Structure 1
């Protein structure tokens, strides 16, 4: 009925605008027929749109053909010198806004029209060159994730992770929820998430599957300074623009400085890794905020960065930590010209107002650092390919980082000396049996050795998979 009224209004408007224009009936009839044809075409478009709206929501199964390499960390390689062998691409699930789901594995397995699951895992062999007795083999992690579509705009994502094969009170393994959140699209290019989410800093934290980085282990900078995989609970908004910017801002929980253990090595291994809460009965008096973005306006180039900040005392009643604030910032770039994959990252963190706290920790081996930082440069060459899937990518990485670059000044010279800056060379190769199974080999050369911090020259082998 409304469409008929619309057509009649159009006819009346045309007649009213030019009452003297139709000098003869033939011309009037011709124009009326033209208007009828246009109205019929409009009716057809309306019927088509109505038919599309009655279709069921898009299945939640992850889709193929979109590369994680376009968003952050290394994806399966692009073959160089083998035009008959197309580059393996990393199939990924997508969000309601069409972006890759943070932390998902491969193409996934559908359990029905609206539910799918995916997974990934990693097995490692580490042999220190100077301490053969410390050689270990480990099922480092196994992860299962799921994705369920409630309607065309709303989904839930989750991941469960098992580390080190066995989790019990007497073993070193863990079972944990890595992420669990509901996502709702407010428009085709932006939406909101609520729950436990990966913090969008660095190149690896959101895309950390074994096939997405070079070397058996994740780089040290994105473990020691950015504590991958770092997640917090809260509310976030995300989106993308037509000119290539993907953005993410959020507010939620943060680390708890009151949980710092000055007697343990964990704070020297990773200051934030030792106090982030993972939404396990998280102290939440002091919210933290973050903002991050990645620009991909030029094919093959990614430029991004982010910042995370908030007070981290969390209302502790026994320690002088409530005025302490964390600021962690980072910037990164990745360029993939032809068969090459070049990347660099720098990150720096500070914790303020730690002088009184460290005064209580005098004599302990691990006071709270005032500043910590790290950076790396990395180059890989997608050198060889066999068939349609297999390929070999040698790489070289140089890292510098310091988990305790400075401490707050203490009276009478009672403070602790900063740690020396560690430097690590890593050389190796990833062999992709196919885009979802990768064998790895590398050798790591350290500037100095520290057994307590797992610093020491070593030879590594690894296997990673995803589905």
Structure 2
């Protein structure tokens, strides 16, 4: 038999009543009080039923938040524009996620230079203000300790508001990841092969690359996703010709990361990705904008950066194949480079890189799996310089070629142990290019 709140109240009231009454008037008063309580309970029940009915009609009926699905050992190809960087949240739902990695590297020719590091630790969060409006953010710490004497970093990696305009389109405003390449948006340890992220998507595409601005993104029923936006850009005034930083990554040396960023010159980008065939993804994007930031006294006031990339990924059965090519150009640097004469690192006119990669799920038992992989990369961070007077220029850099052979062991889809060996065609220890053996462990949740 089902008991309603009204019936329970009546039972409780009569159980608490005295077994006999001294006079009839007292009995009438108690019965009147009980009728009033029952009437109030009925009114509350009616109001509750009406509220639930209205919520259901508006599509806002309360529901338990869906459990976050674990990433597969071979993550599906990531579209160039995903509508959410984190698991979807329901109204008034706040969520946390995160990832981290600890690495060990030992150069083959110099064991004394072996190094262990808490490479990064990240905590992410989201909150749903309504079914269509959310905030997403990520906080990152690198190299374990942040202080004036240490090389660690503490940074806001993402922080933006996303509003779902309709089921196929959303708008974002804030600090967001630029949707170029395969790992800039999807860079958790279990989503890529190797202890460190590949060189092309760190030296040429400066992952993790983010800018502040507004973007519009969406998808179609045909498997096409798109993302366009207007954002902040780079600041060429930060270039240090005396440092090797520009040779390591030209854009990494002048990124602003929305830290008191100069914003005179906006940049724009557009990215497309197609996933019309299961297990297959192809796409690309372009980012362009002036990087002189409006300083009339700056010798490269009209300098413009243009960076483009194209990629493809195919995952048939236990195999995973990927390829990517990226190329960048910086214009109007002649006068600036003349002022850098005598320094080792002028601003390059062009830089590029590409890689091919193959992996194989060789073994799997339950949630655990083992995936050996092989990657070949070619990249050049200073492929050409603007013309200079004879005898004053710096020769273009040689192209670096790197073979990486290794394996990822997934204890679970969210916990991965990694090992690899990297062989460099040109060993430039000043840039960190040298044959080495690497170990790593990563997690994500």
TM-score range, shorter chain: 0.7 to 0.9
What are structure 1's unaligned runs of at least 5 residues?
1-46, 74-96
Residue in structure 2 matching 1:101, options 84, 92, 98: 84
1:412, distance to aligned residue in structure 2 (A)? 2.2
1:447 equivalent to 2:425? Answer yes
The alignment covers a number of residue pairs equal to 392
1:61, distance to aligned residue in structure 2 (A)? 6.5
Q: CA RMSD in A?
A: 2.2
1:69 equivalent to 2:75? Answer yes
Residues 97, 125 of structure 2: 8 Å contact kept: yes
Give the structure 2 partner of residue 184 of structure 1: 163
Give the structure 2 partner of residue 84 of structure 1: none
Give the structure 1 partner of residue 152 of structure 2: 173
Give the structure 1 partner of residue 33 of structure 2: none
Matches of residues 235-250 of structure 1 in structure 2 within 5 Å? Answer: 235-250=214-229
Residue in structure 2 matching 1:210, options 189, 204, 218: 189
Secondary structure of 1:55's aligned partner? coil
Residue in structure 1 matching 2:125, options 143, 146, 162: 146
Residues 373, 406 of structure 2: 8 Å contact kept: yes
Give the structure 2 partner of residue 24 of structure 1: none
Give the structure 2 partner of residue 430 of structure 1: 408
Give the structure 2 partner of residue 275 of structure 1: 254
Residues 200, 248 of structure 1: 8 Å contact kept: yes
Residues 307, 327 of structure 1: 8 Å contact kept: yes
1:302 equivalent to 2:281? Answer yes
Give the structure 1 partner of residue 371 of structure 2: 393
2: CA distance between counterparts of 1:292 and 1:131? 42
Larger Rg: 2
Return closer, same or farther for 1:62/1:320 CA change in 2, 3 Å cut-off: farther
Matches of residues 38-49 of structure 1 in structure 2 within 5 Å? Answer: none
Residues 119, 143 of structure 1: 8 Å contact kept: yes
- When normalised by structure 1's length, the TM-score is 0.81
1:373 equivalent to 2:378? Answer no
1: CA distance between counterparts of 2:92 and 2:164? 19
1: CA distance between counterparts of 2:77 and 2:315? 12
Residue in structure 2 matching 1:336, options 306, 315, 322: 315
1:345 equivalent to 2:324? Answer yes
1: CA distance between counterparts of 2:90 and 2:220? 32
Q: How big is each residue's C-alpha offset from its partner over 1:295-354, in whole Å with a ceiling of 9 and x where there is no partner?
A: 000111100100000000001243211110000000000000111000000000000010
1: CA distance between counterparts of 2:140 and 2:252? 17
Q: How big is each residue's C-alpha offset from its partner over 1:406-437, in whole Å with a ceiling of 9 and x where there is no partner?
A: 00010123111011000000000000000000
Secondary structure of 2:129's aligned partner? strand
